[in-house]
Amino acid sequence: MLPLQIRQLAVCIDNKALLHNIDLTLADKGVSILMGHNGAGKSLLLRCMHGLIEPAAGSLQWAGIHATDINSRHRQAMVFQKPLMLNRSVAGNILYVLKLRNKPKDRLQQHLQTAELESQSRQSARSLSGGEQQRLAIARALACEPEVLFLDEPTANLDPEATQKIESQIHHATGKSIKVIMVTHDVAQARRIADDVVFIHKGAITEHTKAKTFFTTPESKQAHDYLAAYVKPV
């Protein structure tokens, strides 16, 4: 369903322009990362791309189909910044999605395995740790067999090992040619997994560059300053 083409998009809530003059084309497979300060508009843009917010102006199309078209939404899956667990077991959460999307039940084991949650399949989803809940939320999203997966800060507050497990799920998704569009504040993580980076500042895109360029010679002053504030690990 790519390319995603956004032209002159604006989002206004309560008469406030929260996103403006957004022009963006995401054509490639792989991982596109949205970065920017808190409140810049990253989550808002992700929701717009998923067709959850109707823009005040401009257009957003997936291979020519309007983003809010339900058929286009069903070819994507999103994991929110604070994912909600259904009040069921781990397996029950995945089975719910498989049934909803008419996928064979026997795919459960494979999804549990990719999420490294096989041994906890009967545990209540709400009793999982933060990292485990994130993995389950991603497993549920992957159970939809989407063409595009949106992830909003999937590793915020996770330790390095839990982060690595999520990155392995992301790697699994891209290996299946699923396009990943993700928000992170973790610069080291973005360097590890991004193919291209979109930098958002105060509701506008200041640059969209290949990851290598972004991390070595960012084009916009805002991205340069954001990266300069990052303390590299020794």
Ligand X SMILES: Nc1ncnc2c1ncn2[C@@H]1O[C@H](COP(=O)(O)OP(=O)(O)OP(=O)(O)O)[C@@H](O)[C@H]1O
Residues that bind Mg ion (CB under 5 A): 43
Q: Which amino acid is at 67?
A: A
Q: Encoding tokens for residue 77?
A: 């899956």
Residue closer to Mg ion, measured from CB, 143 or 151: 151
Q: Is 50 in the site for ligand X (CB under 6 A)?
A: no
Nearest-approach distance from CB 43 to ligand X, in angstroms: 3
Residue 38 interacting partner from ligand X, Mg ion, none (CB closer than 5 to 8 Å by kind): ligand X
Strands 179-183 and 65-66 come out as unpaired
Q: In the complex, what is the shortest distance from the CB of residue 19 to ligand X, in angstroms, rounded to a whole number? A: 8
CA distance 136 to 114: 10
Q: Which of 31, 44, 78, 197 binds ligand X (CB under 6 A)?
A: 44
- With 0-12 / 13-18 / 19 or more C-beta atoms within 10 angstroms meaning exposed / middle / buried, residue 87 is exposed
CB 224, min distance to Mg ion, A: 22
CB of 121 to Mg ion, least distance (A): 31
Count CA within 13 A, CB hemisphere, residue 44: 24
Residue 39 binding partner per list Mg ion, ligand X, none, with a CB distance cut-off of 5 to 8 Å that depends on partner kind: ligand X
Residues forming a β-bridge with 218: none
- The values of phi and psi at residue 124, to 5°, are -65, 130
Secondary structure (3-state) at 121: coil
CA 183, CA 144: separation in Å to the nearest integer? Answer: 20
154 secondary structure, DSSP code = T
Q: Which two tokens stand for residue 93?
A: 């959460």
Q: How far is the CB of 201 from Mg ion (least distance, A)?
A: 14
Q: Which is nearer to Mg ion, 37 or 88 (CB)?
A: 37
Considering only 9, 24, 33, 40, the residue that binds ligand X (CB under 6 A) is: 40
100 binds, among ligand X, Mg ion, none (CB under 5 to 8 A by kind): none
Binding footprint of ligand X on the chain (CB under 6 A): 13-14, 18, 36, 38-44
